[in-house]
Amino acid sequence: VRGNNDRMFLAKRFPDPEADLRLKAVLNDLINVEKFTIEELVYRCNMGPKNTDNGRAFDAVLRAIADHKLTANRKALIDYPTVLGLPE
Confidence of residue 32 (pLDDT cuts 50, 70, 90): confident
- pTM summary value: 0.91
Burial class (CB in 10 A: 0-12, 13-18, 19+), 14: exposed
Amino acid 54: pLDDT: 77
- Mean pLDDT computed over 80-85: 96
Each residue of 38-81: pLDDT tens digit? 999 999 998 876 666 778 999 999 999 999 999 999 999 999 99
Each residue of 1-28: pLDDT tens digit? 999 999 999 999 999 999 999 999 999 9
CA distance linking residue 86 with residue 84, whole number of Å: 7
CA distance linking residue 17 with residue 36, whole number of Å: 22
